[in-house]
Amino acid sequence: MFLKSLLSISVTVFYLFTAISSLTVLIFCLLQSGVLQISSAIASSTKQHHLFPLWHLCGRSLQMEMVKKRRAPDVADESGGPKKECQEPTQSSRPDAPLASKLRKKINAEPGPPPAEPCVPDIEDWCPAGWQQVLENVRSMRAARDAAVDRMGAESFAADPQVVTPELARLHVLVSLMLSSQTRDEINHAAMTRLKAAGLSVPWLLQVDQGQLAQLIKPVGFWRRKAEYLKKTVRILQDEYAGDIPPSVESLCKLPGVGPKMAHLCMNIAWKQVSGIGVDTHVHRISNRLGWVRRPTATPERTRLALQAWLPRQHWSEINLLLVGFGQQICTPVAPRCGDCLNFSLCPSARLSPKKPKR
């Protein structure tokens, strides 16, 4: 009986000693190598003694959780706000910095999403080959100036002989540009004609009912919203600019419904100041077709930045009217008339067309 008890005590002491040894190994690894080496140390210990499978499982879980956290791009803010990028501990605050650095390099080497397109896709020392000849050909094709934009665009309201004051002419230009978005020139011109017949001016816009104004500009695109924008804009003009329109791109862009395209066109047409290129859908489409942007652009605003990066400033004032009329008559959105274009042999997009130039 005594030997049996002694043997039982010996086995208990052996198991206790093994547990203490495993715990000592775990603490040692924690201090020396960091959390990521704990699981391997525990696995080695348990493999030798076939003990503590639960600890081994916990070590593997710890390792997997650490890797997942390091791979995660960001975490949600506790307050429910926007996500913030995870901050890695510095080398001074973490004993396993060398090992963590290797893991970071391995994770960062994995392929991620492609980088976003930069705001300015062109550089100043780049320009498209043969652009001077292309521009001269467009001028030749637009010599008649008989496109819809020539007869009914905002420029026609700036030169209206019936307008008696420069302030009123500038107002007509601004209103015409505000109505022109998502609207054909013919519809926009008809709406402006109705407004002028009703007495289009700052005092008239202040007193006219918004519903009546909406009916006058209908059917321009988004006519209800544009009527609201006009009522808000004329109040700003009266209170802040003494009935005139703002004299800068920055102040024009603060008006409801006015973006960079309208602002630059308004500065050019109404104030006779070249502040930038007005890029609408025609200029955006044609610039990409001609290869006048270093890389294809997705929006008119990026096209504007791309053009301004290389096109000499003396051409900025004419380029909008030239390309808009060219887009209405020759380089149309659907089925462009490449066979009638003088730039057939110079345009990279014309080579995709089966038509040949007429002789």
**Which residues are catalytically annotated?**
261
Cα gap 292→105, rounded to integer Å: 40
- Going by C-alpha positions, the residue among 89, 55, 96 that lies closest to residue 69 is 89
Give the burial class of 17: count Cβ atoms within 10 A of its Cβ; 0-12 exposed, 13-18 middle, 19 or more buried.
exposed
How many CA atoms within 13 Å lie on the side-chain side of 290? 28
Enter the tokens of residue 326: 């060219």
Enter the tokens of residue 306: 């791309």
CA angle 336, 340, 343 (to 5 degrees): 85
Enter the tokens of residue 25: 């190994």
Enter the tokens of residue 58: 């916990």
Q: Crossing angle for the helix pair 281-290 and 300-308, nearest 10 degrees?
A: 60
